[in-house]
Amino acid sequence: MKRIGELQMKRAASRILIFIFLSISGSGAFGQATLDAIKARGILNCGVSGELIGFSMQDPQAQWSGLDVDYCRAIAAAIFNDTKKVAFVPVATKDRFRPLQGGEVDVLLRNTTWTSTRDT
């Protein structure tokens, strides 16, 4: 039973990863370059809020939890087959896109609305 859940998570993570890279890049070549850089580094840098209970937060033992954290781990599982190969980078709401555009984070998983203005 546990094995089935792991397989389903890997499949879902693979679909999420493909969606994220295609959404970010707009072209397969840029997405592939990003994926290659992540693999070469050996860790996924994931931008999160870091202070939203239920989404991304550290407990007193510095353990991360929340929905956004789970998505980051799923992407790491799809890339490396290891949910621990992820670094969580807290990003502020007003500056959340700068680290993504500047390459400080590979993906941004935090509260963000999808608007046509941001698409253009």
What CATH number does the domain containing 89 carry?
A: 3.40.190.10
Q: State the Cα–Cα distance between residues 95 and 100, nearest whole angstrom.
A: 10
Provide the domain limits for residue 108: 2-119
Q: Look at the pTM and tell me if it is higher than 0.85.
A: no
Question: Is the CA virtual torsion 51, 53, 57, 59 positive or negative?
Answer: positive
Domain count across the chain: 1
User: Which tens digits make up the pLDDT trace of 44-60?
Assistant: 999 999 889 999 999 99
Instruction: Give, for 16, the enclosing helix (H) or strand (E).
Output: helix 2-25
User: Which tens digits make up the pLDDT trace of 82-112?
Assistant: 999 999 999 998 888 899 889 899 999 887 7
The predicted pLDDT at position 34 comes to: 86
